Amino acid sequence: MTDKLQRLMNAAARLVTGTHKFDHGLSRLLHDDLHWLDVHERIQYKIGVTVHCSLQSKAPKYLTDGLLRSSLRYCQPTPSTLDQLTSPICTTLPAQYLQRRAFSVTGPTVWISLSGSLRDPAVNSSNVRRLLETTLFIITIIKCTD
């Protein structure tokens, strides 16, 4: 599904910039000129920001409740325990397929993959957004040069 969205985003970038379908340098155009993240990185960005807002109690209750905390399931989290997110484990095949897409699974997975400076509870939302976007741009640029 994300490949179709990426193709659509590439077409939109070509339309906005007036380039042709077979012109070279589309990834440079997307990242350097338009400052757009690829679809996969954009999804990670949105999930990371949503998890941060959930942990700061600035997200809807159903999202906050969806994030399970190890050993603190029924307590208010403290700043020292915000990194201890866990995701539920299911063993039946249809549930495993659907579970990978659930916020309670992808949220902790993306959150744990972030650097410690981004997961710091003292960092405010605007700084998390800026740092996360910068981090994902660097990852995208590294992938493009390989």
Q: What is the pLDDT of residues 77-111, one digit of tens each?
A: 444 444 567 655 655 556 566 666 778 778 888 88
Tell me, rounded to whole angstroms, the distance of Cα 97 from its chain centroid: 19
pLDDT for residue 136: 87
- pLDDT tens digits for range 3-49: 899 899 989 988 998 888 777 777 777 877 888 888 889 999 999 99
CB of 87 closer than 8 Å to CB of 68: yes
Once rounded to an integer, what is the mean pLDDT over residues 59-85? 60
More confident residue, 70 or 54: 54
Tokens 């990371």, residue located? 48
Contacts of 110 (CB under 8 A, 6+ apart): 44, 47, 48, 51
CB of 31 closer than 8 Å to CB of 141: yes
Please report, for residues 30, 71, 135, 145, the alpha-carbon distance to residue 142 in angstroms, rounded to integers and kept in the order given. 14, 37, 11, 5
Q: Classify residue 141 by its DSSP letter.
A: H
pLDDT for residue 103: 80
Instruction: Label residue 74 by pLDDT band (50, 70, 90).
Output: very low
pLDDT for residue 135: 87
Tell me, rounded to whole angstroms, the distance of Cα 119 from its chain centroid: 13
Q: What is the pTM of this model?
A: 0.75
pLDDT for residue 87: 59
Evaluate if residue 127 carries a pLDDT over 60.
yes
